[in-house]
Copies of this chain bind each other. A is one copy, B any other.
């Protein structure tokens, strides 16, 4: 009987993160015509005439979302801005403002808060973002950070998860799996350090992987280049929970299916080699690794030629009818149904 003490917790697990969000969200009514997009999108969209505001709010909790034993505070500050801004960029909007809340415990010094906000400032300066709100409070347990990002997009340029249509091309920016590979390395070094604190890690050769994990960039450059090339994606989302999760989510919202090809997945050579040394299949990490903060989007076939002007984007497959599901064609020509195995669970 003991496992039945709280059957409700089991219900929560069964629902999963997105199931829970949908379940809870359903009871709320909508009153304002300015509220354009619902809970299924990367960010809230609020109409103002021809321009829309796009708003995203992210919560970062010590030991859940970051581990201060190996994350430098400056990098952490930078990354919190990136993560919030990545949701704005995923709507094809340019980030303009952030509001930041920081809760710190007693062990935090002024120097530490300074480091953290230096990292935030660096990211804001790089992308021309204004700090429009800052609040501090105390925490009994650890560091907690909230970043709310606000962006702007012309209404006709707004891109959402909804919008992909059959035969359109599936594209992804940058490369996949590097951030998660960086995390594996950091976790490994942490364990080595716990056993032998005198051992100095030599991670220099992995610096690209560590940078992808510790100091990712929001792909503002990609949406700017797409605009210059005259391309408006038909649908778009942020790859923060692994490509598989992002693609399934986008296809579900757009009511379509998809096929992607293993040999088209953009995996950096260092990611591939490092994972091989660790006996991990790089395709698994590219599909499910998480924290890439790359853009997954679809374009009309007619835009294929123009896409060549945009560096750093790979075409990895195409959109099919909904009934086809979401399929991966492997290097040995097998067809595998994609499953979301990212960090998308409430209790990870």
Instruction: List chain A positions with a Cβ less than 8 A from chain B.
Output: 6, 8-9, 11-12, 15, 17, 20-21, 24-25, 27-32, 34-35, 37-39, 43-46, 48-49, 51, 53, 55-59, 61, 63-65, 96-97, 99, 101, 103-104, 106, 108-114, 117-118, 120-121, 124-125, 128-142, 144, 146, 148, 150, 152, 346-348
- Whether B132 pairs with A27 at a CB distance below 8 angstroms is no
Known A114-B24, A124-B28, A128-B32; contact A347-B106, beta-carbon cutoff 8 A: yes
How far does the alpha carbon of A348 sit from the alpha carbon of B150 in the complex, in Å?
A: 30
Give every chain B residue within 8 A of A59 (Cβ-Cβ): 101, 103, 135, 137, 144, 146
Is B35 a contact partner of A130 (Cβ separation < 8 A)? yes
Of the candidates B27, B46, B139, the one whose C-beta lies within 8 Å of that of A61 is: B139
Find out whether the CB atom of A138 lies under 8 angstroms from the CB atom of B346: yes
Query: How distant is A101 from chain B, measured CB to nearest CB, in Å?
Result: 4
| Contact A96 B34, beta carbon cutoff 8 Å | yes
Is the beta-carbon distance between A97 and B144 smaller than 8 angstroms? no
Q: What chain B residues lie within 8 Å of A139 (beta carbons)?
A: 61, 64
Q: Are A134 and B55 in contact (CB under 8 A)?
A: no
Q: Among B21, B45, B137, point to the contact of A136 (Cβ < 8 A).
A: B21
CB distance from A62 to the nearest CB of B (A): 9
Across-interface contacts of A138 in B (CB, < 8 A):
64, 346-348
Q: Is the interface of A mostly helix, strand, loop or mixed?
A: mixed
Which residues of B sit under 8 angstroms from A117, Cβ to Cβ? 24, 27
Cα–Cα distance between A192 and B312 once the two chains are bound (Å): 65
Cβ–Cβ < 8 Å partners of A148 in chain B: 55, 57, 99, 148
A113 in complex: contacting residue of B24, B118, B146, B152, CB < 8 Å: B24
A44 contacts B97, C-beta separation under 8 Å: yes
CB < 8 Å neighbour of A25 from B6, B9, B15, B134: B134
Q: How far is the CB of A199 from chain B (nearest CB, A)?
A: 27
Bound complex: CA of A348 vs CA of B104, how far in Å?
11
* A119 and B195 alpha carbons, distance in the complex (Å): 48
Could you pull out 8 A-B pairs where Cβ atoms are within 8 angstroms?
A: A9-B106, A11-B109, A24-B134, A34-B152, A35-B132, A46-B132, A57-B57, A140-B141
